[in-house]
């Protein structure tokens, strides 16, 4: 690692199929920006391990023996709000996607996508972004459309104009970097705005913020 460069992202992997777990860990090990710190094959082991040695990000399968992936998220996320959890699974049901992300997941990736995309998604999630794979993204955002209410003039949450602009772009599925480029502000400024939005709306995730804003008529998709 060169002087001044960012340290590797600490990643834990939760997968019950040994061959997939070993293969994914081996592939991730080929990227210098990734440091695999934990490997777990059950939800119970994952919760214990993640709480004992928190990583920066988690790749989590939903289909686990015993405690399922969504229950893992519900156990871990309130205690480790800074850890980005990316669901990596075969599920492509938008309701299941919503349930996982609403529980606190930072995104949803379908298995067997290129490892380069997984590494890219980890970076986006750790940076505060919400990652929804294109294969299921359209149905996911269509699900959001069903929650939409007519626009309102009064904002009950007291968002600033720039915060509303950030929220509007996030609702359309843009990454933090894309929002920053459109608004001509730094990506870290986007993240700061999101933290303020979460506080004002009383939520903890992108999805919760978008759902609440849609129900209040503050944003459109």
10-35 pLDDT, tens digit per residue, is: 999 999 999 999 999 999 999 999 99
pTM over 0.95: no
- Better pLDDT: 167 or 130: 167
89-110 pLDDT, tens digit per residue, is: 776 666 677 778 778 888 888 8
E strand map for the chain: 9-14, 34-40, 57-60, 84-89, 107-110, 131-132
Q: Among 2.30.38.10, 3.40.50.2300, 3.40.50.1450, 2.60.40.10, name the CATH number for the domain at 9-141.
A: 3.40.50.2300
138-161 pLDDT, tens digit per residue, is: 666 666 666 666 666 678 899 999
Q: In CATH terms, is domain 149-216 a member of 1.10.10.10?
A: yes
Q: Which of 123, 133, 131, 128 is nearest to 166 (CA)?
A: 128
C-alpha distances in Å from residue 29, one per residue of 23, 24, 26, 136, 199: 10, 8, 5, 27, 37
Maximum Cα–Cα distance for the chain, whole Å? 54
Q: Is 1 helix (H, G, I), strand (E, B) or coil?
A: coil
């Amino acid at each position: 690692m060169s002087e001044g460069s960012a340290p590797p992202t600490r990643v834990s992997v939760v997968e019950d199929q040994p061959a997939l777990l070993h293969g994914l860990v081996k592939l991730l090990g080929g990227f210098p920006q990734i440091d695999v710190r934990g490997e777990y094959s059950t939800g119970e082991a994952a919760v214990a391990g993640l709480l004992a040695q928190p990583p920066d990000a988690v790749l989590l399968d939903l289909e686990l023996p015993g405690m399922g992936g969504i229950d893992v998220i519900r156990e871990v996320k309130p205690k480790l709000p800074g850890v980005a959890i990316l669901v990596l699974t075969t599920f492509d049901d938008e309701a299941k996607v919503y349930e996982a992300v609403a529980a606190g997941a930072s995104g949803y990736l379908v298995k067997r996508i290129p490892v380069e995309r997984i590494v890219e998604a980890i970076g986006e999630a750790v940076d505060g972004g919400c990652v929804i794979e294109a294969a299921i993204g359209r149905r996911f955002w269509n699900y959001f459309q069903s929650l939409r209410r007519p626009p309102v003039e009064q904002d009950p949450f007291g968002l600033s104009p720039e915060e509303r602009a950030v929220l509007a772009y996030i609702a359309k599925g843009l990454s933090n970097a894309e929002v920053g480029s459109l608004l001509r502000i730094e990506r870290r400024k986007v993240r700061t705005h999101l933290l303020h939005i979460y506080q004002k709306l009383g939520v903890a995730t992108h999805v919760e913020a978008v759902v609440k804003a849609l129900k209040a008529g503050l944003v459109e998709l």
